Amino acid sequence: MPYMLNGEMLEIATEPRVGSGTMYVPLRAVTTALGGKADWEPTTETAIVYMDDKIITVKSNDTTVDVDGEKTELQAHPWIDNGEMMVPVRFFENALGYGLDADAQNMIVSFTKS
Amino acid sequence: MNNIRKYTAWLGAGAIMITLATGCADKNNNGQPDSMATGNEIANSTDSMGNAMSNGADAMGNAASNATTDVAQGAENAGTAIAGAGDALTYTPKIKTALGAQPALKGSSINVDTNGPKKVISLTGTVTSAAQKTMAEAIAKKNGPEGFTVENKLTMAGGKM
């Protein structure tokens, strides 16, 4: 399993992808595995993440992320793959405050949260 | 003859008066009228009066205490109502602003009503998707006062959810 949280394996089927020096992970699957909830708003084509008392919106092809009304920039824009939104793994670090160790060579993502 | 009758009448009246007076007479020659209350009777009577007064004072005290509690409760209720009204004034615009600032709620029309005394935030109006309905509720909860519940009456534009 390529995903871990505080040293424990996470059950996520979709593997990380690497493109243009950025590692991407499936937004809904990782959010759910970390204990949050992800929703899809079709009218505005926006993913809505509810986690740790935060409400975050992410749009495909848009590097700007809204965290409780505050704008944050991702290093690359999210994209949709087979109906699943892939986001730069740093999203969980920048927007949600997780500690992150992304091993692109071995495709292992380790999250830490106190 | 008339004089005899007069004397007889006077003697009768005197006898009646003596009979009445014997009720208070000192038959025992102890310096106290026979019909006066004894010390114990006076003490008992004093006790009864004291108890009655004490009970009365207790009742008054309880009544005063209850009245004080009622006033305090009334003041507390009034304070809660005022605080609730303050919540409604403060939080309704805050929630509306947060909803209006969210691009993911584009196309929705959401009214917010905060009922302070009932601690309820009501959302009415229309949204374009179930995700918008969920998000509007989450934003209202997040930006509303602590301890308030959100009554989500939002409906999908063109139909019910």
Q: Is B135 on the interface with A (CB under 8 A)?
A: yes
For residue A54, how far is the Cα from the chain centroid?
A: 14
For residue B129, how far is the Cα from the chain centroid?
A: 49
Q: Is A48 on the interface with B (CB under 8 A)?
A: yes
| pLDDT per residue as tens digits for the range A20-34 | 999 999 999 999 999
Please list the ranges in chain B whose pLDDT falls under 50. 1, 4, 8-9, 11-25
Q: What is the DSSP string of B58-80?
A: HHHHHHHHHHHHHHHHHHHHHHH
Residue B131 with chain A: CB contacts under 8 Å: 39-42, 48
| pLDDT per residue as tens digits for the range B23-39 | 444 555 555 555 555 55
CB B117 within 8 A of CB B87: no
Taking only residues 25 to 84 of chain B, the set having a beta carbon closer than 8 angstroms to any beta carbon of chain A reads none
> What is the model's pLDDT at position B144?
93
CB contact under 8 A, B135 and A53: no
CB contact under 8 A, A46 and B139: no
| pLDDT per residue as tens digits for the range A45-79 | 999 999 999 999 999 999 999 999 899 999 999 99
> What is the model's pLDDT at position B157?
84
Cβ neighbours for B54, distance < 8 A, ≥ 6 positions apart: none
ipTM of the complex: 0.87
Q: Is A44 on the interface with B (CB under 8 A)?
A: yes
Q: Name the minimum distance, in Å, from the CA of B94 to any CA of chain A.
A: 12
Q: Is B128 on the interface with A (CB under 8 A)?
A: yes
Cα four-point dihedral sign A105, A90, A47, A59 = negative
Average pLDDT, chain A: 94
Cβ neighbours for B75, distance < 8 A, ≥ 6 positions apart: none
CB contact under 8 A, B135 and A66: no
> What is the model's pLDDT at position B122?
97
Coil, helix or strand for B35? coil
Residue A64 with chain B: CB contacts under 8 Å: none
- Nearest chain A residue to B105 by CA distance is A44
> What is the model's pLDDT at position A23?
95
> What is the model's pLDDT at position B75?
60
> What is the model's pLDDT at position A114?
80
